[in-house]
Structure 1
Amino acid sequence: MTMRQLGLSIYPDHSDFEANKEYLELGHKYGFTRIFMSMLEVQDSVEATKAKYQKIVDVGNALGYQTIIDVSPRIFDQLGISYDDLEFFHDLHVAGIRLDQGFDGATEAMLSYNKYGLIIELNMSNNVDYLNNIISYQANTPFIYGCHNFYPQVGTALPYDFFMKCSKRFRDFGIHTAAFVASQVGNMGPWNVNDGLPTLEMDRRLPIEVQTKHLFATGMIDDVIIGNAYASEAELAAMAALNRYQVQFHIDFVPEVNDIEKTIALTPQHFRRGDMNTLVIRSTMPRVTYKAVPNKPHDNTHEFKRGDVVIGNDDFGIYKNELQLVLEPHADTRKNKIGSISKDELILLDFIKPWSKFKFLD
């Protein structure tokens, strides 16, 4: 697996150069390194199109971005470009092209050997033998990437199970993958409908950092790209701050939480015990590390709910100071509720498998 990246989308045919430049500079400040650029709706001449796109691509390149441009067969026809010669895209200074629609397998495989070393990115949002077909034509796999679609119309993005099946086809071949999250403030996309531009329907209205955590947690996605423009600086900062390699829950502490409980939650590298159960996710090392530290009972008389974080108190014997994340409601006065994870992040609990690593953020 390659290092995970964050990306932005820009739409040169619906925006002006200065606004895009400012956005790319802001993204660069927060460590974004990929650009998805749409070229599905060109209206200008070949030369004017080339000049407009090249100008903004060059800004991205100077900032260290990798730009992949989204194209359709119609654009090839409109601009008089042949699949045998990708010089037009080479002249744009992009790193690669994303084929919005597929061909016959042999064409994609041949494209992956283009003399310019351009990445050929495939549409991942189909659960068919498309990729196997391309690979069977001896494609140049280091130059084959995958990227899911995004869906401007509410209710039309991918359901989770289908997303996983589509993604697994690419993951099984070790292909570099990408998918989209939706900004809650961006209102620009390639079309005149924009209810956000996510890949997963269940993510559409979630805070952008939770969407991002979700895609990374699946283990199927290398790069997470914001589908709509322009995301807010707060959204970029939230994405930049998250851990790309393990689930990091946001914890809301109860008022009575004590110092040792805060230390136990925020300091160790948590991992779920290998011999799992369905009641709680157990992080057992803190009970060893903090064995000698007292922990008086508090917030221990109500039923614990899914997403609550509890720690064994002084009445729990050997289990004192063991941290647990609640999966099923239960009551136990030997445990103190120290806080709960955000409601939006409850979907992430399913990704904490036996031995999974996880952390908490205040």
Structure 2
Amino acid sequence: MKRRLGVSLYPDNSDFNEDKKYLDLAAKYGFSRIFMSMLEVSEGRDVVFRKFKTIIDYAKSLNFEVMLDIAPAIFEALNISYDDLSFFAEVGADGIRLDLGFDGNKEALLSFNPYGLIIELNMSNDVAYLENILSHEANKPFIYGCHNFYPQDGSALPLDFFVSCSQRFKKHGIRTAAFVTSAAGKFGPWDINDGLPTLEMHRYLPLEVQTKHLFATGLIDDVIIGNAYASEEELKAMSAVNRYQLSLAVELVPEVNDVEEEIVLKNQHIRRGDITARMVRSTHVRKIYHEESNSPHDNQQTFQRGDIVIGNDQFGKYKNELQIVLEEHLDERKNKVGRVIAEEHILLDYIKPWSKFLFQ
């Protein structure tokens, strides 16, 4: 399943012209889906329709997929029936996200709506919600899953709970989504905004690191910026993330030589299948560079987790093998050539046996 990037819009809290500018930037950097909140509507049906159709039409002109976040109160406020979703089709949405669920049979029936609207389910509950819906013979290709976001500092999901919730959807082949948070974004749907991530551990990390982490879990297909508006620098950095393999940001040491720099930055790295706990070993590069000399430097120190080391001339057949240190150790036959930046140490646990990875 191809992976995508998305942004969020809050038409009841934002200016149309600013939304347009934001969508132009997002489209420029390859973003392709929009989470659009309808949880805060306070005006009549006709006013709401015109407001949302205007911005959705513009989004569709840029080829965005648009999902509307709704709750039962919205149906009441707009006098809409769950048995007739024509309002959402006419406003131009591709689907609706059900912030609150029903009994399983209702969701399954909604997935057969005559307009081909996607029904997106709330993923942030570790219960057999999806299984119940699928047991009612839902129209599976029209079912998506999307986690919640959490505006209050300390209120977002812990990693183990997130994984358990997400696995329930991923094992059934359902398209999944989760939220990351922008440092520049100032607002969302509510009056509290300490950021809008799905995972609490992401709240104060750079946007691109959050994105790398979600993709690295293998559980999330669409990564969406929860708050608005992310800066152009953030959008650009997020768009540069490799969506299909880890690309770790590295700081090289001043003494790194040309051969070592080339080994680090110019090669596809693969972790050995017979792994060790002490380090990640990329062994095929030693075969490519077996004739290249590599004098010792930065080799008389205790290597720390996240250090990148390469075997020097004292290391025999292991000369020019690249390793990422997982457990601290001392070995003068290895040169420290750089270090994975501290914010990305959380990604090291996702380099599995035979994993492919890169450095940038």
- TM-score, with structure 1 as normaliser: 0.99
Amino acid at match of 1:255: P
Match of 2:276 in 1: 277
Pairwise CA distance, 1:267? 1.3
* 1:154 to 2:142 alignment: no
Residue deviations 1:15-66 (CA, integer Å, cap 9, x gap): 0100000000000000000100000010111001000001001111000100
Match of 1:300 in 2: 299
Aligned mates of 1:342, 1:233 — CA distance in 2? 22
Pairwise CA distance, 1:242? 1.1
Aligned mates of 1:109, 1:37 — CA distance in 2? 23
Pairwise CA distance, 1:333? 0.6
Consecutive unaligned residues of structure 2, counting only runs of 5 or more, are: none
Amino acid at match of 1:299: D
Match of 2:31 in 1: 32
Match of 1:224 in 2: 223
Aligned mates of 1:214, 1:198 — CA distance in 2? 12
Match of 1:268 in 2: 267
Structure 1 counterpart SS, 2:347? helix
Match of 2:101 in 1: 102
Amino acid at match of 2:99: D
Amino acid at match of 1:18: N
Amino acid at match of 2:126: N
Match of 2:84 in 1: 85
Match of 2:207 in 1: 208
* 1:135 to 2:134 alignment: yes
Task: Give the alignment's Cα RMSD to 1 decimal.
Answer: 0.4
Structure 2 counterpart SS, 1:37? strand
Structure 2 counterpart SS, 1:161? helix
Pairwise CA distance, 1:257? 0.4
Match of 2:319 in 1: 320
Aligned mates of 1:3, 1:172 — CA distance in 2? 16
Structure 2 counterpart SS, 1:145? strand
Aligned mates of 2:270, 2:95 — CA distance in 1? 39
Aligned mates of 2:69, 2:98 — CA distance in 1? 6
Aligned mates of 2:110, 2:31 — CA distance in 1? 28
Structure 2 counterpart SS, 1:288? helix
Aligned mates of 2:123, 2:94 — CA distance in 1? 19
Aligned mates of 2:77, 2:43 — CA distance in 1? 10
Aligned mates of 1:341, 1:156 — CA distance in 2? 29
Residue deviations 1:87-112 (CA, integer Å, cap 9, x gap): 00001101000000000100000000
Match of 1:172 in 2: 171
Aligned mates of 1:16, 1:242 — CA distance in 2? 29
Amino acid at match of 1:57: I
Structure 1 counterpart SS, 2:179? strand
Match of 1:114 in 2: 113
Aligned mates of 2:79, 2:44 — CA distance in 1? 11
Match of 2:143 in 1: 144
Residue deviations 1:179-217 (CA, integer Å, cap 9, x gap): 000001101100000000000000110000000000000
Match of 2:252 in 1: 253
Structure 1 counterpart SS, 2:276? coil
Amino acid at match of 1:248: S
Structure 1 counterpart SS, 2:303? coil
Aligned mates of 1:134, 1:285 — CA distance in 2? 47
Amino acid at match of 2:90: D
Aligned mates of 1:105, 1:115 — CA distance in 2? 19
Pairwise CA distance, 1:153? 0.2
Structure 1 counterpart SS, 2:12? helix
Match of 2:329 in 1: 330
Aligned mates of 1:258, 1:70 — CA distance in 2? 53
Amino acid at match of 2:303: F
Aligned mates of 1:195, 1:95 — CA distance in 2? 29
Amino acid at match of 2:176: T
Aligned mates of 1:57, 1:269 — CA distance in 2? 41
Pairwise CA distance, 1:268? 1.3
* 1:50 to 2:49 alignment: yes
Aligned mates of 1:182, 1:296 — CA distance in 2? 44
Pairwise CA distance, 1:299? 0.5
Pairwise CA distance, 1:264? 0.4
Match of 2:242 in 1: 243
Moved over 3 A (4+): none
Match of 1:187 in 2: 186
Pairwise CA distance, 1:127? 0.3
Pairwise CA distance, 1:244? 0.4
Match of 1:339 in 2: 338
Pairwise CA distance, 1:178? 0.2
